[in-house]
Amino acid sequence: MESAASRKKSEAKPAKLGREVQARLGQQLRAMYDDVVNQGVPDRFADLVSRLDGTDNKDKH
Amino acid sequence: MDESVRKSVLAAVPSLRAFAISLCGNVDRADDLVQETMVRALANIDSFQPGTNMSAWLFTILRNHFRSEYRKRRREVEDSDGHYADSLKSQPEQHGQVEFTEFRKALAQLPSDQREALILVGASGFSYEEAANICGCAVGTIKSRVNRARTRLAELLSIDGVNDFGPDEQTRAVLASGE
């Protein structure tokens, strides 16, 4: 039974999802993603760019 | 550094973080990944072609760096999927995060190539072509991965409506038995 199941699984093509299901998945995915995006740029990254930028300038001048 | 370059690098940070967290499932590790990506990117800023998509360039660096790190870690930690799931559990549930817990868990169960394809196209807003460039594969491969990811997610989350669009019970049973 297990082998039949795994055989079926390997043959299984992705089922065609309805528009509504796709829309709901997309919504959840973006909500999760945007939750992080909306946190903006944490200080450590702004500081990092300034620091690397400063080094860069020092090297050049 | 050119002011416009500096601005476009910083502008990409929020989205890079969201991508990184989706990839590795752990905020601290994701932020380290973003930091390492930025250090690499800025050290190689001369290889960035002005006028092209800065965000796509940074995503490519992050993705490749994650892949090489991931392979290393996979050798160290055999059950990388279990490791991923554990790292999700250990995160404090921040305000607004609870509703995403189930979704993140389902996302964590996808193969990593499907996960990254789905996020790039479905959340980061890249075209199939851009996603294919970032992942270094064919456009058709990205499309197929995204479709598979969506199907699997719908199954894992038992999203109502799947049955309205086809006889899916059998697929569902097969996928469930594959766990």
CATH number of the domain that residue B19 is part of: 1.10.1740.10
- Same domain? B7 vs B77: yes
User: Which residues, in sequence order, are CB contacts of A45 under 8 Å at separation 6+?
Assistant: B10, B13, B34, B35, B38
Q: What is the per-residue pLDDT for B57?
A: 97
Structural contact between residues B148 and B112, judged by C-beta atoms closer than 8 angstroms: no
Would you state the torsion angle of the CA atoms of residues A17, A23, A29, A32, taken in this order, to the nearest 10 degrees? Answer: -150
Please report whether residue A11 resides in a domain.
no
**Residue ranges, chain B, pLDDT below 50:** 78-80, 90, 92-96, 162-167, 179
Domain, as residue range, for B119: 110-179
The reply to whether A4 falls in a domain is: no
Put simply, the answer to whether B35 touches A45 (Cβ < 8 Å) is yes
- Find out whether B23 and B115 touch, Cβ atoms under 8 Å: yes
Which positions 18-57 of A are in contact with B (Cβ < 8 Å)?
18, 20-22, 24-26, 28-42, 44-46, 48-49, 52-53, 56-57
Give the ipTM.
Answer: 0.75
Give pLDDT, residue B175.
57
**Measuring CA to CA, which residue among A21, A25, A7, A59 is closest to residue B107?**
A25
pLDDT at residue A38 tops 50:
yes
Report the pLDDT value the prediction gives residue A54, as an integer from 0 to 100. Answer: 73
Number of independent structural domains in chain B: 2
The DSSP code for B165 is G
- Do B121 and B172 fall within a single domain? yes
- Supply the pTM of this predicted model: 0.75
A56 falls within a domain = yes
**B5 and B52, same structural domain?**
yes
Q: Number of folded domains in chain A? A: 1
Whole-number mean pLDDT of chain A?
A: 75
Task: Report phi then psi at B140, rounded to 5.
Answer: -60, -35
pLDDT for residue B92? 45
The interface residues of chain B toward chain A in range 33-52, judged by CB-CB distance below 8 A, are 34-35, 38-39, 42
CATH of the domain at B135: 1.10.10.10
- Note down the domain range covering A43: 17-60
* Position with higher pLDDT, A39 vs B87: A39
For B75-125, the pLDDT digits (tens) are 655 444 555 555 555 454 444 455 678 888 899 899 999 999 999 999 999
Residue B134 CB contacts under 8 Å (≥ 6 apart), including other chains: B56, B59, B60, B63, B120, B126
